Amino acid sequence: MNDDAAPLHRTLTPPAPRPGSRSGPGPAVRALGDAGTHAPAAAVGGSFTDNFDSHNGGRWNKADGWSNGGMFNAGWRADHVWHSGGVLGLNLNNTPCPGGCSNKPYASGEYRTNELYSYGRYEVRMKAASGSGLVSSFFTYTGPSDGQPWDEIDVEILGKNTWQMQTNYFTNGTGGHEAVINLGFDAAAGYHNYAIEWRNGNIKWFVDGRQVHEENGSRGALPTRPQRIMMNLWPGTGVDGWLGPFNYTGQKTATYDWVRYTQY
């Protein structure tokens, strides 16, 4: 906690536009997720807390063997998601993937729930990775692989400036609702609590228990569809104006102490 840190404040000036799908499944999953052949998914996940003492395969899935494509310059490997000492870690490095990491030069980790969740409070205690070109994330997402349009709510720490957090949301694939929050601490130097409170009619973001941002739909319709809870660590390509250039200098890791969802 940093209650004596500089006050948090925000700016609604959006960063440079970013092309392509933000957080959808990789091409192989998209092929299976044709919205024309799948009924819309239902929210079935109830409240839970996961302290990440071990991998719970009934709740979580480790992405493996594909890439989100576009600006994501890494392929996902299940062995880049690990649990140790009550912590979940996501590693990013240049370990080759089977099949060549979907023609990406780096490998990294992505973790997502098996079930979808609706209105409620989504919380995480995490420590971000630092470095230009990197994104450490905690977010909700659904899309064609769930038989639904693309909806998403984001907490993102950009490695080029880990003293800031970026929020955003997507509805029917439309984003552009970024806000940049000055945290008053270095998110890569220690663990802090980040929360999304999603209700019918508004979304609020919290840092260490303090509300730092709210969206009420005045900048565009809010998401309404149930979504998966996700975390990933990835290097960008072709988005230097947003993330800064990525130059590999060795393994990077983002770590997560716990995740909690409270159903509303």
Q: What is the pLDDT of residues 188-230, one digit of tens each?
A: 999 999 999 999 999 999 999 999 999 999 999 999 999 999 9
pLDDT tier at 254 (50, 70, 90 boundaries)? very high
pLDDT at position 100 is 72
In angstroms and rounded to an integer, the radius of gyration of the C-alpha atoms of the chain is 17
- pLDDT of amino acid 20: 39
Strands 252-263 and 48-50: antiparallel
pLDDT band at 187 (very low <50, low <70, confident <90, very high): very high
Q: What is the pLDDT of residue 110?
A: 98
CA max distance for the chain: 53
Q: For residue 147, how many C-alpha atoms fall within 13 Å in the half-sphere facing its CB?
A: 9
173: exposed, middle or buried (Cβ count in 10 Å: 0-12, 13-18, 19+): middle
Q: In whole angstroms, what is the distance from residue 149 CA to residue 3 CA?
A: 39
Give the model's pLDDT for residue 5: 35
What would the two tokens of residue 159 be?
Answer: 């490695």
**What global pTM score does this model have?**
0.87
Phi, psi of 111, rounded to the nearest 5 degrees: -130, 130
Q: Say if CB 81 and CB 101 are below 8 A apart.
A: no
Integer Cα distance of 212 and 187 in angstroms: 15
Average pLDDT (58-73) is: 93
Count other Cβ atoms within 10 Å, centred on residue 7. Answer: 8
Rounded distance between C-alpha atoms, residue 34 and residue 72, angstroms? 21
Active-site annotation, residues: 152, 156
The band of 2, judged by pLDDT with boundaries at 50, 70 and 90, is very low
Q: Per DSSP, what are the bridge partners of residue 160?
A: none
Q: Within 10 Å of residue 42's Cβ, how many Cβ atoms?
A: 13
The Cα–Cα gap between 198 and 43 comes to: 14
Q: 39 exposed, middle or buried (CB, 10 Å; 0-12, 13-18, 19+)?
A: exposed
pLDDT above 90 coverage of the chain, percent: 78
What's the mean pLDDT when you consider all of the chain?
A: 87
